[in-house]
Amino acid sequence: GKKLGYTFNHRNLHNVSLGQGQEVVAEQALDLAAKEGHWVILQNIHLVAKWLSSLEKRLEQLSEGSHRDFRVFLSAEPAPCPESHIIPQGILQNSIKITSEAPTGMHANLHKALDNFSQDTLEMCSQEKEFRSILFALCYFHAVVAERRKFGPQGWNRPYPFSTGDLTISVSVLYNYLQASSKVPYDDLRYLVGEIMYGGHITDHWDRRLCKTYLEEFIKPEMLEGELCLAPGFPLPGNMDYNGYHQYIDDALPPESPYLYGLHPNAEIGFLTQRSERLLRTVLELQPRDSSVGQGALGTQEERVQALLEEMLEKLTEEFSMAELVARVEERTPCAVVALQECERMNALTAEMRRSLAELELGLKGELTMTSDMETLQSSLFLGTVPESWVRRSYPSTASLGSWFADLLARISELEAWTRDFSLPSTLWLGGLFSPQSMLTAIMQTTARRNKWPLDKMTLQCDVTKKSREDFASAPREGAYVHGLFMEGARWDAQVGTITEARLKELTPAMPVVFIRAIPDDKQDTRGLYPCPLYRTRQRGPTYVWTFNLKTKENPAKWVLAGVALLLQV
């Protein structure tokens, strides 16, 4: 305060945390501070969106005739999306804006996690060695789960708001348990931290498994015997003082890499590629759309869109005749029912595509008035993205419009071949279905009916073959051969028949043909298996399909931390 030319003490400060009807208190504080030359801190202004216009007017009034030392400080959480930007433009224009960026990288995150404590914290527990070791492991755990978000869906299926409060309360729980017991209750600590303190944020089953696995690797009896490595080349430090731990981080922590999180280096390539694609897509959206795009190009936006829609209308095949297909089915087996359902869904999608494209074509010719829906479709075609009205009737996909349309034609061809006689294809393209879960359930239903087994007591067994699609001439007697799967986070060693480390720059290597068959629950041997989630796209999360147990010689925890999953499309 003295450096700025005025004195300051705690009586000069009015700190108001907004929310729960605190707006009146804030207005009173502003009036008093403007008169007396005090400071006002208004926290969490994002919680009072309706009041912000009144705040803008009040600040504009107080900007004239107020005490020269009067200052106002506002704080708000960052908006999750542009639509949530609620702070009035007048406030932003008249303010000095400061952002508090979260630390990036394991080095900064680990230091920040440790900054929540002090030398007094390290000395407050009677079991000093155990307390310090577990506290440092919890700091590393906190840094890992916070920074792992940058790897996108391979890091966490969904983003979670882990905070320093989760860490500090976990350390308080640790202190209470160690003070009350001479033995370290590892299971209790892992449960409380993983299922309640941090797990309370987690809504996805596979993310919960990941959180639990981290704690099983970081908090265990070996940590007190000097045999635990938090990451390759980074052993858990021994008994040190507070400054010693900070120095240990600077001296011993390896350079930033996905290995610090249990991930393969390919994970970094993947998220950097996706970030670059988002940047380039934004640049593309900003370019002018009504001028010529260069010599030799198709010309204006309308000309390019016209050429594209004509090509798509020409390539789209006729809809499936459902009456004819139903008459052709000799026996409505579970698999035949799935085929009919797939044809119905495909008809709904292609009908909407024909309707919207034909409507836009008339609009471009001037025979129809252009509506907002037609303009949105035109913009999507120009930018190479799948139109929203198609997405609603479609299947999850991350592909651009060109790749998506080629994939659609391939799906139609596959359905045409399948519905000629409704016999199961020699190898099934599971990723080519609107509902792959229906097909996997149909496989179980078929086996259950044939053997008179209860359906709810059955499971699917996944055996990875050494063959490719071309090596199969006919479908198996039971189950199905499935092709078109990809693995992310690792690869399949066809010679050994197990999961193994991925090769650098091979982000999603293809799997050999997989043999899927239904067996009773009690016949399944889960030893030496990694329960691998199957997703439809690299977005993971809501695109989950099934769980396949894959053979592994390594500890399955390694593949959990690496975010290993099977994908139906890449």
SS in 3 state form for 292-351?
CCCCCCCCCHHHHHHHHHHHHHHHCCCCCCHHHHHHHCCCCCHHHHHHHHHHHHHHHHHH
Burial of 77 (0-12, 13-18, 19+ CB in 10 A): exposed
If asked whether residues 507 and 401 sit together in one domain, one would say no
Q: What is the 3-state secondary structure (H, E, C) of 531-553?
A: EEEEECCCCCHHHEEEEEEEECC
Question: Distance (Å, rounded) from C-alpha 533 to C-alpha 565?
Answer: 5
**396 and 452 together in one domain:** no
Average pLDDT for 54-63: 88
Residue 374: name the closest of 352, 353, 359 by CA.
359
Identify the helix (H) or strand (E) that includes residue 491.
strand 491-493
pLDDT confidence of 168, banded at 50, 70, 90? very high
Cα(263)–Cα(560) distance, integer angstroms = 9
Label residue 80 by pLDDT band (50, 70, 90): low
What local confidence, expressed as pLDDT, does residue 299 receive? 57
Residues 438 and 553 in one domain: yes
Number of other residues whose CB lies within 10 A of the CB of residue 164: 13
**DSSP letters along 125-157, please?**
-SSHHHHHHHHHHHHHHHHHHHHGGGGGGGT-S
On whether both 234 and 380 belong to a single domain, the answer is no
Q: Which range, of 290-294, 320-324, 347-351, averages the lowest pLDDT?
A: 290-294
Q: SS3 for 557?
A: helix
Q: 298 falls in which pLDDT band (50, 70, 90)?
A: very low
370-412 pLDDT, tens digit each: 888 898 999 899 888 999 999 999 999 988 899 999 999 999 9
Q: Give me the pLDDT at residue 181, please.
A: 86
- Scored b (16 or more CB within 10 A) or e, 489-511 reads bbbbeeeeebbeebeeeebbeeb
| pLDDT value at residue 88 | 87
> In this predicted structure, what is the pLDDT of residue 209?
96
For residues 316 and 184, state if they share a domain.
no
C-alpha 121/C-alpha 167 separation (Å) is 13
d(CA 22, CA 28): 10
Q: Which of 198, 67, 60, 180 is nearest to 125 (CA)?
A: 180
Check whether 31 has a pLDDT greater than 70. Answer: yes
Q: Residue 51 sits in a domain of what CATH number?
A: 3.40.50.300
pLDDT in tens, 473-523: 888 988 999 999 999 999 999 999 999 999 999 999 999 999 999 999 888
> Total structural domains in the chain?
4
464 and 449 in a common domain: yes
- pLDDT for residue 8: 44
Domain termination site, one of 69, 94, 119: 94
Check whether 351 has a pLDDT greater than 60.
yes
CA contacts within 13 A on the Cβ side of 522: 3
* 390-429 per-residue burial string, b: 16 or more CB within 10 A, e: under 16: beebbbebbbebeebbebbeebbebbeebbeebebbbbbb
Tell me the CATH number at 442: 3.10.490.20
Considering the domain boundaries, does residue 352 fall inside one? yes
* Sequential DSSP letters for 392-443: TTS------HHHHHHHHHHHHHHHHHHTTT-PPPSSEEGGGSS-HHHHHHHH
Structural domain range at position 392: 299-423
For residue 134, what are its two tokens? 């577990």
Q: Comparing C-alpha atoms, which of 528, 546, 397 is closest to residue 480? A: 546
Confidence of residue 291 (pLDDT cuts 50, 70, 90): very low
Tokens of 456: 């709810």
* pLDDT computed for residue 11 by the predictor: 66
Same domain, 77 and 110: no
Q: Which residue has the higher pLDDT, 290 or 162?
A: 162
Name the 3-class secondary structure at 50.
Answer: helix
User: Rounded distance, CA 352 to CA 389, Å?
Assistant: 8
Task: Report the percentage of the chain scoring pLDDT > 70.
Answer: 95
Residue 118 and residue 245 in one domain: yes
Domain boundary among 377, 393, 423: 423
> Is residue 177 situated within a structural domain?
yes
In the listed set 94, 120, 139, which residue is the last one of a domain according to the structure? 94
Q: Are 168 and 194 in contact (CB under 8 A)?
A: no
- Greatest distance between any 2 Cα atoms in the chain: 92
Cα–Cα dist 491/499, whole Å: 6
Residue 67 near residue 37 (C-beta atoms within 8 A): yes
Q: Distance (Å, rounded) from C-alpha 104 to C-alpha 99? A: 14
* Strand ranges in 202-324 using DSSP code E only, listed in sequence order: 229-231, 234-235
Average pLDDT, the chain: 89
- Residue 5 is predicted with a pLDDT of 37
188 phi, psi to nearest 5 deg: -65, -45
CA distance 186 to 168: 18
101, part of any domain: no
Q: What is the pLDDT confidence band of residue 79, given thresholds at 50, 70 and 90?
A: confident
Confidence of residue 290 (pLDDT cuts 50, 70, 90): low
Residue 2 binned pLDDT confidence (cut-offs 50, 70, 90): very low
Scanning 37-118, the segments in alpha helix (DSSP H) are 52-62, 89-93, 106-114
Distance CA(79)–CA(65), nearest Å, equals 33
Specify the residue for token string 């309370």: 200
Same domain, 440 and 397: no
What is the average pLDDT across 542-555? 94
Is 548 a residue whose pLDDT tops 80? yes
- Are 110 and 212 contained in the same domain? yes
Q: What is the pLDDT of residue 444?
A: 93
